[in-house]
Structure 1
Amino acid sequence: MTTPEVMNPEFAGLRIEERYNPFRECIQGLANEPITVRALLRRADDLLADEADFAGLGDYGLDVIVERLASNRPRVVIIQGSPDHPAHLFDHEHSLRAAARIWQNGGVPFTFGIPVICDGTAQSNIGQSYSLASRNHTATAVNINFEGHSYHAAYVISGCDKTPTGILSGLAAADRARRQPERGSAPVWSIFVPAHVLKGGSIPKRTRQKLQAIQDAAIAAGDRQLAEDIEENCHYILQCSSDEAFLGQLMRAEEKGLIGLAEREQILNELAAATCDDKGGICAFNGTGNSSRTLVAALGFVPAEAELLTDEATTDVVRHNVDLLFRMFNKPEYSVCNLLEKNYANAIRIHGATGSSSNLMLHMPCVMRHAGYDVSLHDYARVRDAHAVPDIFAHSLTEGRDTFVLAQQAAAGLHHGMTSLFKALADLGVPMDLDAPTVAGLTWRERVAAIPVAVSPELPQERSVIRIQPIRAISGTDVMQGNFFSSCTLKVAGMSTESYKRFNGRVFLVRYYENEIDCNDELRSSDLIDRLAALPALTPELLAAIRRFNGAPEDESVRTMIERGTLAFALVIAGQGPTAFGMPEMFTPSQNLRHHGVIEKTSMMITDGRYSGVTKGACVGHMVPEAYEGGGIGALVDGDLLWVQLTERRIDLLDTGAFLAGRLLPLPNAPFDARAALIAERRARIEHRQLQVAASSMMDNVTNAEYGVVPMAVHKRARLPWPA
């Protein structure tokens, strides 16, 4: 006995309205695809058979599947990730639940998976040169499969790192192409369901005792700073990011003879085994994973009920998501490109208010250019500058306010995730476009009106991640300019207010590195301060000028100048741009800087590469033009002077002679002619280093970071004005 063909009467007569149905006009797809649908539904039937409220799937024989395809019932693909990434451990079960509901709603379910690179796993090795490339490859792969098999819509099981924006880019490109009248196609609809949040780990008691013994030994050896750095890192929830900091600190301890190699490796093994909860999910720090979750939610693609899960999605949640997707069909206002156009300014302001990853400064224009809009980094700056956005996101990995806690607070009904953020900002006078549509079938205005308060009064503000009053005026990521580059980014949200004030107006001495390996080696050394103090560029004349500029005593030693912050360094890592080396994240050197108590307080890092979303401190990235393309960053040398004016959003290369004479005089540009031979030597070394990256993944034919590092074909098609 079979149940009715369509279990949900709400969608009984639903067919996609379009002139052309490839499964009717071409017999081959109608012959090939039904067996894939039936196999998927068999597995879904087996999984759900024992659930009490499962009504069954009815008849899913090949003849029924063929009839649905031929009559243009909604063809919905479930896009899942690879199970070798922690965020995608339960995608298989999730996809089967979604397939069952798609069939019950009268649609035809399909599924395909994509490889997902874990940025944590790829850190500090050649894998980081493939990370950003993976976003572009994902966009291409998703677009090829989506268009090649003529799907109408996508149910996206959204993970972390580069895949959410890669998938969204591929879907946006399909939607834009289908707008051509000759296609006769309906637009593309999509819904994103982020993976649940991964609960952070904690340091095992036995491991903590070993770390304490190292701290005690460091103090006895006269290195109190190392002991303090380890202590500070122990206050973080245990994540792969804090493990990286421990690696650097333990290497310092080993170099000082406090531990041996075997002990270092054993401690690191113990930390690694205790890091990730076996349920998987998106890491609990506010890195690119959770920033991408925030982005797709701010763009209106995420159902409120699925935004902040603490465990794998239940059947009820999946059914609700699929039903929302079906209610959007045949309504162009909910198409992918329309949601992007209407919500992009909102997403920029949410990105700033939540202090999200600076990686999104690449991914946001990338998505919009795939959608056909002529958007760049400067549009981000234009929206940001039009109205100040305060910091209202009190995220912390040391004070019980990480993303897993945020999700727990949402599950307890103490706030409403993205809707609460919209309400809090609107209440503070930030011009959010509340009339923009969302996949819930409601505008933001309707969603905001449905909640009485942004955050429940039952949740004390000091414990809440989302704040209803500004934490401080500065927030987000600034777009900087200067005399030796076109643009770069600085995540001011990652800087303390004290650091922001201290660094504003300072002159920094350049310490130049041709790659991150050299920088890591120096930052992890136990004699880092002595190494910096011994730089040949620190001539007596330059030191005297720096003392005069900072009001330091004339007899202050170089080491004391470094320890007190009289002498500050700009640690410059060049040759990391997209065409040079794939634009890897400089997370490890930034983490080593962040967890060195002396250098972190006074110095900044500058690169034409990227940073991890969890990076803290004064970290400047995405410098355009990159060194390999003739950018001024590749012409810097040890001893150059950079004048950093944060409030003016400028970094300028100074005339050293004028500085020695007591004047701050920016040069017209970088000294390309005077250093032509050095620049050529550096370029040759970059080209040799490129051989480490497989040719198939080199990012040759792409734009610079201002335009999101997108393929040139995508860049040339992006001609629509935004806002429309």
Structure 2
Amino acid sequence: MKTQHEVINPEFASLHVEERSNPYQECIQGLANEPITVQALLRRAAELLDAEPGFAGLGEISQAVIVERLVANRPRICIIAGSPDHPAHLYDHEHVLRAAARIWQNGGVPFAFGLPVICDGTAQSNIGQSYSLASRNHSAMAVNINFEGHSYHAAYVLSGCDKTPTGILSGLAAADRARRAPERGTAPVWAVFVPAHVLKGGTIPATTREKLLVIQDKARAAGDEQLADDIENNCHYILQCSSDEAFLGMLNRAVEHDLIGASEARTILNELAAATCDDKGGICAFNGSGNSSRTLVSALGFVPPEAELLIDEPPTALVSRYVDSLFRLINRPEYAVCEILAANYANAIRIHNATGSSSNLMLHMPAVMRHAGFDVSLFDYEAIGNEHPVPDIFAHSLTQQRDTYVLAQQWLAGHHHGIASLYKALETLRVPLDLDAPTVAGKTWGERLAAIDVAVSPALPQERSVIRIHPIRDISGTDILRGNFFSSCTLKVSGMATAQYECFNDHVFVVRYYENEHPCNDELHSGNLVDTLAEMPELTPELLAALRRHNHAPADEDIRTMIERGTLSFAFVIAGQGPKAFGMPEMFAPSQYLRHHGVVEKTSIMMTDGRYSGVTKGACVGHTVPEAFEGGGIGALMNGDLLWVRLSDKRIDLLDRQAFLRGELVPLAAPPFDTRRALMDERRARMEKRQAQIAACSLLDSVSTAEYGVVPMAVHRRATLPWRKPSGR
């Protein structure tokens, strides 16, 4: 270990945090307890870095020097990491040590703590999904408690995926807001986020592909062209946990039809799983919640430009630059967390729309803002979207070599400038943006864009570029829908093909109702799904005739042809999955089975009071409020009910069945609560019984609705501040 007298980076030699209160002067206990944690952290950093060429050493790291820095109110910086049982955090240990060393070299005092991080992929289709959204609120609380309890000034965040980036940001925002109380006398909170590198997608092993081809041949020989086509289509995706899930459904269908045995299916699934993840770890290459969160924290201005799109762990020199950018924010209140959030919120919504990012963020963005004290809801997102249309300029694809790993490669090659290029493209298209909003780079967006000539280098052909300078289409992002049996719900328009969007507009769907996802999964990955649907007793001859008339189909069209052509379309409704009912799990598995079932995928929608994965494609309606558990209309639906979908009007209405049979489209005046109260009570009792599967400490039973981000009620009540400036942003 290199040891010498104390040496501090000259740029920050005189930096002390300006505030009235310093608990490390006023309370001797912290001054006695914490120096040993700092010293141990720095010793480990020296062990890692001493052998690196150019490492200048740490100087003296005695407890006496640490005490002096604490008493002098040098910047106390916490490094927030994740847990190594999550792929995005495999290299956090080394990253933490590099950041700690630079904080010390800059005259600060480094601390470090980690958070448990639930992997949404690992938690899919099991009870773990009922803990996923709760983990965001728990992360916010844990970060806030530790940050406030140990009186840190700023955070250097090793940002991963799923719920932790927005959970951490929420906790820091809550601390920043609480420190605004005049009685506190403390400085605000500053933060820099460094997203984990992108995980390279896997490749199906050649021997496994041969086995899948054999199954395809067997399926065709057995007359199941659809299964063969579904397997073929899924083989075009980069190998990810999401495509593995689709293979699971298809192989279950193959087993059901005796094309292969269960043990052979298990072997293939094992081979796929073993080839999925690169051993470097990182955030999966699809544009799910992980990379959508990367985009969000970057669009909000919290990420140093050099940190946006890494494909490997950052070296010491880069980490030092990230830490330096954080130090340059200290004592500048305009760069405090709540200020950056308020200034960039509308910008982030427009970037979210333009990139087709995860609909999960429709919960997380209001949650972050409400933790910051701002009265923000789903309808602020809607209002900003209505102010000016935002085109789709993000040609992300898992089948055409335009995933996030490729986006990162194009960034590293200098073909674009990450989030700044998205801002530049939208600015060129005259989408309103607040270019005076600050970023942790110490520059406004306007200043960052001034240094960019073009959004995307002309050396990169547009058909290969993920970021497009010419819009792909006018519709983008996530729409908020209204209806006569619910207050609001969301539809990820960016996950729908244009032809599908147009086909589903002004269309009538027949409800197929499920009380939770498991019976829906069983039906959707069954090879007999079409037969099951065709045999629904609610499909009376009168209803089929009315559907043929409405959809201009031949009067003698048989029911199987109606299903295949979309004359008879279904709304697969999964209720009982809302926040208070069951933790609001993702309905990824059923949505994936629907998407990769060639017949119904083209003609049907899925609707739930749960969530969807960020990688979900197709007509998937989620976040329905009120949820079934609280007496929402979605919990009153039954098989055979008729939903009139008007996407251009952003509405889904429950129709009067008798009027439809007469050839009229008449929405009911209200949900049929009176006639179905007994049924709803029975369903509620089953939901309450099902809740016993979730540990009591993780129930979301005292939270706001999805319209307000599913935040704890105390957070919800405190969020009273307007986030827009009086003149508007």
TM-score normalized with structure 1 length? 1.00
1:276-315 to 2 correspondences below 5 Å: 276-315=277-316
1:140-539 to 2 correspondences below 5 Å: 140-539=141-540
1:584-603 to 2 correspondences below 5 Å: 584-603=585-604
What CA distance in whole angstroms lies between the structure 1 residues aligned with 2:105 and 2:231? 55
Contact 1:196 1:282 in 2 (8 A): yes
Q: Secondary structure at the match of 1:437?
A: coil
Offset from partner CA, 1:33-89 (integer Å, 9 cap, x none): 000000000000000011111000000100000000001000000000000000000
1:559 matched residue in structure 2: 560
Letter in 2 for 1:522: E
What CA distance in whole angstroms lies between the structure 1 residues aligned with 2:123 and 2:652? 31
1:138 matched residue in structure 2: 139
Contact 1:6 1:103 in 2 (8 A): no
What CA distance in whole angstroms lies between the structure 2 residues aligned with 1:5 and 1:453? 45
Letter in 2 for 1:696: C
2:72 matched residue in structure 1: 71
Letter in 2 for 1:694: A
The CA deviation at 1:313 is 1.1
2:21 matched residue in structure 1: 20
Contact 1:143 1:171 in 2 (8 A): yes
Alignment of 1:635 with 2:624, yes or no, is no
What CA distance in whole angstroms lies between the structure 1 residues aligned with 2:722 and 2:230? 49
What CA distance in whole angstroms lies between the structure 2 residues aligned with 1:575 and 1:565? 27
The CA deviation at 1:2 is 4.2
Q: Report the number of matched residues.
A: 724
What CA distance in whole angstroms lies between the structure 1 residues aligned with 2:93 and 2:251? 39
What CA distance in whole angstroms lies between the structure 1 residues aligned with 2:598 and 2:543? 25
Offset from partner CA, 1:498-556 (integer Å, 9 cap, x none): 00000000000000000000000000111100000000110011011001111111111
Offset from partner CA, 1:254-292 (integer Å, 9 cap, x none): 000000010000000000000000000000000000000
What CA distance in whole angstroms lies between the structure 1 residues aligned with 2:275 and 2:438? 42
Letter in 2 for 1:196: H
Q: Secondary structure at the match of 1:512?
A: strand
What CA distance in whole angstroms lies between the structure 2 residues aligned with 1:567 and 1:513? 19
What CA distance in whole angstroms lies between the structure 1 residues aligned with 2:655 and 2:504? 16
The CA deviation at 1:684 is 0.4
Alignment of 1:705 with 2:706, yes or no, is yes
The CA deviation at 1:7 is 3.3
1:568-587 to 2 correspondences below 5 Å: 568-587=569-588
Offset from partner CA, 1:272-316 (integer Å, 9 cap, x none): 000000000000000000000000000000011000000011111
Structure 1 vs Structure 2 CA RMSD: 0.6
1:719 matched residue in structure 2: 720
TM-score normalized with structure 2 length? 0.99
Offset from partner CA, 1:227-279 (integer Å, 9 cap, x none): 00000000000000000000000000000000001000000000000000000
Contact 1:5 1:106 in 2 (8 A): no
Q: Secondary structure at the match of 1:486?
A: strand
Q: Secondary structure at the match of 2:8?
A: coil
Q: Secondary structure at the match of 1:652?
A: strand
1:619-658 to 2 correspondences below 5 Å: 619-658=620-659
What CA distance in whole angstroms lies between the structure 1 residues aligned with 2:526 and 2:362? 32
Contact 1:6 1:12 in 2 (8 A): no
What CA distance in whole angstroms lies between the structure 2 residues aligned with 1:469 and 1:180? 47
The CA deviation at 1:3 is 3.8
What CA distance in whole angstroms lies between the structure 2 residues aligned with 1:697 and 1:196? 30
Contact 1:377 1:707 in 2 (8 A): yes
Letter in 2 for 1:543: L
Letter in 1 for 2:271: E
What CA distance in whole angstroms lies between the structure 2 residues aligned with 1:550 and 1:86? 48
What CA distance in whole angstroms lies between the structure 1 residues aligned with 2:318 and 2:233? 40
The CA deviation at 1:4 is 4.6
2:551 matched residue in structure 1: 550
What CA distance in whole angstroms lies between the structure 1 residues aligned with 2:331 and 2:325? 13
2:612 matched residue in structure 1: 611
**5+ unaligned residues in a row in structure 2: which ranges?**
none
The CA deviation at 1:721 is 0.9
Letter in 2 for 1:431: P
What CA distance in whole angstroms lies between the structure 2 residues aligned with 1:722 and 1:44? 41
Contact 1:38 1:62 in 2 (8 A): yes
What CA distance in whole angstroms lies between the structure 1 residues aligned with 2:330 and 2:271? 51
Q: Secondary structure at the match of 1:79?
A: strand
Letter in 2 for 1:319: S
The CA deviation at 1:669 is 1.4
Q: Secondary structure at the match of 2:281?
A: coil
What CA distance in whole angstroms lies between the structure 2 residues aligned with 1:517 and 1:362? 24
Letter in 1 for 2:628: A
What CA distance in whole angstroms lies between the structure 2 residues aligned with 1:122 and 1:678? 31
What CA distance in whole angstroms lies between the structure 2 residues aligned with 1:370 and 1:258? 53
1:44 matched residue in structure 2: 45
The CA deviation at 1:722 is 2.0
What CA distance in whole angstroms lies between the structure 2 residues aligned with 1:667 and 1:406? 47
Letter in 1 for 2:131: Y
What CA distance in whole angstroms lies between the structure 2 residues aligned with 1:381 and 1:348? 9
Q: Secondary structure at the match of 2:473?
A: coil
Q: Secondary structure at the match of 2:183?
A: helix
Q: Secondary structure at the match of 1:328?
A: coil
Q: Secondary structure at the match of 1:605?
A: strand
Q: Secondary structure at the match of 1:308?
A: coil
1:93 matched residue in structure 2: 94
Q: Secondary structure at the match of 2:11?
A: helix
2:124 matched residue in structure 1: 123
Q: Secondary structure at the match of 2:483?
A: coil
Offset from partner CA, 1:443-482 (integer Å, 9 cap, x none): 0001011111100010000000000010000000000000
2:696 matched residue in structure 1: 695
Offset from partner CA, 1:549-600 (integer Å, 9 cap, x none): 1111111111110011110000000000000000000000000000011100
Letter in 2 for 1:90: Y
What CA distance in whole angstroms lies between the structure 1 residues aligned with 2:663 and 2:558? 20
Identity fraction in percent = 75
The CA deviation at 1:679 is 0.3
Q: Secondary structure at the match of 1:244?
A: helix
Letter in 2 for 1:177: A
